[in-house]
Amino acid sequence: VIGETSEEKQFIATTNIFVNTFSYILDKQNAVGFHFGKGFTDINEDNIEKGETIFLGVNYTYALDCLQCDSIFILPLLGRGNTVYTTNDGSTYTYSRLDIYIVGGYRWYFENDLSVQLGMGPSFVNASKKSENLKSNKGYGNDVEDRVKKRRFEPINHTPFLFIGYTF
């Protein structure tokens, strides 16, 4: 049957190049694991050129039907990391962050143990400035601080999650 497997698998690895997860399957519907990654964002607004984030955390997956079949899923993620913002004048601002994401979506599972997952959900990012390297006195740090405050809580995160997974 397409979209389902009867073999007992123990692990799920997923990636979208920027975010990678590795989870241990506890039972038919539950898995726990960790995630890590490095993301780049071209911002080009409010005097901010780009952002670069490195993160590591833990995650839990619950599948409504099962992990090894087509199913609705919920994926809470808790992580820590750093984001470096670069402004138009070349200044950099480094923020330490604690992230909480709750992703809900759908997982398509194929006979070859590959899967595609698509989801969205709310996010909370508690970020605090660690350091700054100023190249001018233009005050672009205020623009970065405003962006960090605006992104603190998003009812629907601005980036949908799309993962390719393999169960083994």
Convert the pLDDT of each residue in 98-122 to its tens digit. 999 999 999 999 999 999 999 999 9
The b/e string for 114-152 (b: 16+ C-beta within 10 A; e otherwise) is: ebebebbbebebebeeeeeeeeeeeebbebbeebbeebe
Q: How confident is the model at residue 159 (pLDDT cuts 50, 70, 90)?
A: confident
**CATH no. for 11-167:** 2.40.160.70
Summarize pLDDT for 5-18 with one digit per residue, the tens: 556 899 999 999 89
For residue 87, is pLDDT > 80? yes
Q: What is the pLDDT of residue 4?
A: 53
What is the value of pTM for the model shown? 0.88
CA pair distance 117, 110, nearest whole angstrom: 12
User: How confident is the model over 28-76, as pLDDT tens digits?
Assistant: 999 999 999 999 999 999 999 999 999 999 999 999 999 999 999 999 9
Given a cut of 50, whether residue 26 has pLDDT beyond it is yes
Query: Is residue 10 within 8 Å of 21, Cβ to Cβ?
Result: no
pLDDT at 1: 42
pLDDT at 8: 83
Q: Which residues are CB-contacts of 162 (< 8 A; sequence separation ≥ 6)?
A: 16, 116, 117, 118
